[in-house]
Amino acid sequence: MFKFILALCLVLYFMGQAMAQQPDSIRYIIKSRKANIINLQRPQIDGFNYWEEEFRGHWAGVFLGVNGFFQSDYNDYPADQQDFLDINLWRSNSLNINLIQFSKGLQHNRNTIGLVTGIGLETQTYYLDKNTSLVTETDRVVPVTLFFDSNQKSKFSSIYLNIPLLLEFQVPIKQGGYRFYISGGVTASKNLSTHTKIKYKKNNQKQKLKTPDDFHMHDYRYAATLRLGYRGINLFATCDLRPLFKEGKGPEVYPFSVGFALISF
């Protein structure tokens, strides 16, 4: 009887030792190590996956700016027609609606440098500062003086289809958070339409006269552009690389625009 009890105790002891060797603690260690490996491979800081997010540029959005001219040359015009393209700078404006954007990163293991392109529409409007409008003659565009009642307004506008090619650099602020960006490049544009519009009063009635024409302007324009921003602030500047009018068909003026984003997509 004593031997039976001793044998039973030995069996229970070794069974307890075997059960104590079950890999509960080992599973816990492996699980913990696996979790640590995942965290090392996919770091997320403030919801931003620093190494795996694709490069995304800053082109799409709605942008508003002011227009102007520089390097004005009226050598081919008589004295009484000099500076007829003087404009009201703060009323002359550009509106850019950039709906399509393509971005391509240029780095293998980072996402801070890339190329950006897309498609957008732009309207450029110039308010003439004098009582002047434009007409097209056979050899060039010339000014015409307006003789209407008070409060008359004169402007000419163009609509362009824009395609940019930008090289963009991004600098993460507080790693993984918001980024400062700066980009530069060129924008090619197709002139879709141009017109002048005169608003005036006749017999105390408001009137509008709209005249579409090409005004000897280039069908295509090319502009250098610079863009920069941080968080909700996005600024841009463009400067045309060729004159507004064809050679010998108008004053040699180069348009420029400076503005900011109303909405960024």
Please classify residue 202 by burial: count the beta carbons closer than 10 Å to its beta carbon, then call 0-12 exposed, 13-18 middle and 19+ buried. exposed
Closest by Cα among 160, 148, 131 to 208? 148
The DSSP secondary structure of the chain, one letter per residue, reads: -HHHHHHHHHHHHHHHHHHHTSTHHHHHHHHHHHHHHHHHHS-EETTEETTTSPP--S--EEEEEEEEEEEEE-TTS-GGGTTTT-B-TTT-EEEEEEEEEEEEE--SS--SEEEEEEEEEEEEEEEBSSSEEEEE-SS-EEEEE----SS-EEEEEEEEEEEEEEEEEEEESSTTS-EEEEEEEEEEEEEEEEEEEEEEEETTEEEEEEEE--TTB-SEEEEEEEEEEETTEEEEEEEESS-SB-TTSS-EEEEEEEEEEEEE-
Confidence of residue 47 (pLDDT cuts 50, 70, 90): very low
Q: Where are the domains of the chain?
A: 2-41, 54-264
53 band by pLDDT with thresholds 50, 70 and 90? confident
> What is the pTM (predicted TM-score) of this model?
0.78
- Length, in residues, of the chain: 265
Give pLDDT, residue 76.
87
Write phi, then psi, for 3 (nearest 5 degrees): -65, -35
Angstrom distance (rounded) from CA 187 to CA 101: 13
Pairing of strands 48-49, 44-45: antiparallel
Average pLDDT of span 162-189: 92
Q: What's the mean per-residue pLDDT of the chain?
A: 83
pLDDT exceeds cutoff 90 at 119: yes
pLDDT at 16: 52
Q: What is the per-residue pLDDT across 184-218, written as a single tens digit (0 to 9) for each?
A: 999 999 999 999 999 888 778 888 889 999 999 99
